[in-house]
Amino acid sequence: MTQTPAKRLYIKTYGCQMNVYDSERMADVLRPLGYAMTDEAEGADLVVLNTCHIREKATEKVYSELGQIRLMKQRKAEGGGRMTIAVAGCVAQAEGQEILRRQPAVDLVVGPQAYHQLPELIARAHRASGERLSADFAPEEKFDALAGSRQVKGVTAFLTVQEGCDKFCTFCVVPYTRGGEYSRPAGKILDEARQLADQGVREVTLLGQNVNAYDGCDGGLASLARQLAKIPGLDRIRYTTSHPRDMDEALIAAHGELPQLMPYLHLPVQSGSDRILKAMNRGHTADTYLTLIEKIRAARPDIAMSGDFIVGFPGERDSDFEATMNLVRQVQHAGAFSFKYSRRPGTPASAMPGQVADEVKDERLARLNALLNEQQQAFNDSQVGRVLPILFERVGRHAGQLIGRSPYLQSVHVTAPAGLMGQIAQVRIDSAARQSLAGTLVEESVLA
Query: ∠ at Cα 298 (294, 300), nearest 5°?
Result: 115
Q: Is 39 exposed, middle or buried (0-12, 13-18, 19+ CB in 10 A)?
A: exposed
When asked if residue 18 is in the footprint of ligand SF4 (CB under 6 A), the reply is no
By beta-carbon proximity to ligand F3S, the closer residue of 15 and 335 is 15
Contacts of 194 (CB under 8 A, 6+ apart): 231
Listed residue (118, 121, 103, 108) closest to 59, CA to CA: 103
Minimum Å distance from CB 155 to ligand SAH? 26
Half-sphere exposure at residue 310, Cβ-oriented, CA atoms within 13 angstroms:
25
Interface with ligand SAH (CB under 6 A), residue total: 18
Listed residue (229, 165, 224, 169) closest to 197, CA to CA: 229
* Residue 443 near residue 414, CB atoms below 8 Å: no
Interface with ligand F3S (CB under 6 A), residue total: 14
Q: How distant, in Å, are the alpha carbons of 72, 207, 255, 273, 334 from that of 16?
A: 27, 10, 24, 26, 20
When asked if residue 52 is in the footprint of ligand F3S (CB under 6 A), the reply is yes
- What, of ligand SAH, ligand SF4, ligand F3S, none, does residue 90 touch, CB below 5 to 8 Å by kind? ligand F3S
Per-residue contact string for residues 69-108; x = within reach of ligand F3S by CB under 6 A: --------------------xx------------------
Minimum Å distance from CB 405 to ligand SF4? 25
Binding segment for ligand SF4 (CB under 6 A), chosen from 90-98, 168-176, 182-190, 370-378, is 168-176
Binding ligand F3S (rule: CB under 6 A), the pick from 38, 117, 177, 273 is 177
Half-sphere exposure at residue 279, Cβ-oriented, CA atoms within 13 angstroms:
21
By beta-carbon proximity to ligand F3S, the closer residue of 57 and 102 is 57
C-alpha–C-alpha distance, residues 163 and 105, integer Å: 30
The bridge status of strand 436-441 relative to strand 424-432 is antiparallel
Please list every residue from 209 through 228 that binds ligand F3S, using CB under 6 A: 209
Binding segment for ligand SAH (CB under 6 A), chosen from 117-125, 136-144, 180-188, 337-345, is 337-345
Phi, psi of 270 (to 5 degrees): 75, -45
Element (H, E) at 99: helix 97-102
By beta-carbon proximity to ligand SF4, the closer residue of 210 and 306 is 210
16 marked among binding-site residues: yes
Q: How distant, in Å, are the alpha carbons of 45, 80, 277, 333, 382 from that of 369?
A: 42, 50, 20, 12, 20
Binding ligand SAH (rule: CB under 6 A), the pick from 342, 375, 406, 423 is 342
Minimum Å distance from CB 349 to ligand SAH? 7
Q: Is 298 exposed, middle or buried (0-12, 13-18, 19+ CB in 10 A)?
A: exposed
The residue sitting closest to ligand SAH, measured at its beta carbon, is 308
C-alpha–C-alpha distance, residues 87 and 91, integer Å: 8
217 marked among binding-site residues: no
Per-residue contact string for residues 265-294; x = within reach of ligand SAH by CB under 6 A: ---x-x------------------------
* Residue 294 near residue 242, CB atoms below 8 Å: no
When asked if residue 55 is in the footprint of ligand SF4 (CB under 6 A), the reply is no
Listed residue (241, 239, 161) closest to 203, CA to CA: 239
* Residue 268 near residue 246, CB atoms below 8 Å: no
Please list every residue from 218 through 257 that binds ligand SF4, using CB under 6 A: 243
Minimum Å distance from CB 17 to ligand F3S? 8
By beta-carbon proximity to ligand F3S, the closer residue of 18 and 121 is 18
172 marked among binding-site residues: yes
Alpha helices in 37-83 (DSSP H): 56-78
Binding ligand SAH (rule: CB under 6 A), the pick from 157, 213, 310, 429 is 310
When asked if residue 241 is in the footprint of ligand F3S (CB under 6 A), the reply is no
Interface ranges with ligand SF4 (CB under 6 A): 165, 167-169, 172, 174-175, 209-210, 243
Interface ranges with ligand F3S (CB under 6 A): 15-16, 18-19, 52-54, 89-90, 173-174, 177-178, 209
Question: Binding site, residues?
Answer: 16, 52, 90, 165, 169, 172
Interface ranges with ligand SAH (CB under 6 A): 54-55, 165, 171-172, 174, 209-210, 241, 243, 268, 270, 308, 310, 339, 341-342, 344
Question: Binding site for [4Fe-4S] cluster, residues?
Answer: 16, 52, 90, 165, 169, 172
